[in-house]
Chains A and B, each alone.
Chain A
């Protein structure tokens, strides 16, 4: 059974860089694409981007110029960096498993979520 466990800093000041990591257990890391998704308080969900085990990435154009997603296959982990954060980046950030390398599938399972607050 696939499980995702995420961690990272929860309080940032404007202009700092958000950094989160997600660890994957229970499945071969190489069989899927791994995504980051965020949800501002009381609002809907926004897909940030995805990565596969080779490091190939696909980003949402709305955030592409500030986002970097990377992978460490030796640890079965992938990470998110979002630079130059503002209050608008305050959200719960989730990691999730997305498409398999052979077929489309929805996001499932999800990490537990990390609330990141940007405040001066």
Chain B
């Protein structure tokens, strides 16, 4: 199975700063089938980015995805208070579909 490694485990930043989260795959992800999710306590994950760089409906343009092959990133250009949450990457190119362990974005 494809293992996704996210880094850092925790990222401490202030509102207004820029956040860059990393997701590295153990194998090339077919056709960049890589998604990013945001999860807040007691809520299901919310889709932010699909196909590595396409924003899902209703997602603000401060969220952007990049990368290909085995290295991917999620960038939040200017952090808003509501952006502090846990972020997961997920590959849907090959079964079993797998998730990274998450990056917790916390307020500094």
Q: Are A47 and B102 in contact (CB under 8 A)?
A: no
Contact between chains at A113 and B44 (CB < 8 Å) = yes
For the complex of A and B, 4 pairs with smallest distance between CB atoms: A106-B35, A110-B44, A108-B47, A45-B99
B: contact size bracket: 20 to 34
Given contacts A105-B50, A110-B44, contact A62 B92 (CB under 8 A): no
Check if A105 sits within 8 Å of B92, measured CB to CB: yes
Contacting B at CB under 8 A, from A74-112, are 94, 96, 98-99, 104-112
A110 to B31, CA, bound (A): 23
Looking at A62, A104, A113, which has the most chain B CB atoms within 10 Å of its CB? A104
B15 in the interface, Cβ–Cβ < 8 Å? no
A106 & B44 in contact (Cβ 8 Å cutoff): no
Within 8 A of B (CB), among A50-76: 58, 60-62
Asked if B93 is at the interface of the complex by the 8 Å CB criterion, the answer is: yes
Cβ distance B72 to chain A, nearest Cβ, rounded Å: 13
Residues of A within 8 A of B47 (CB): 106-109
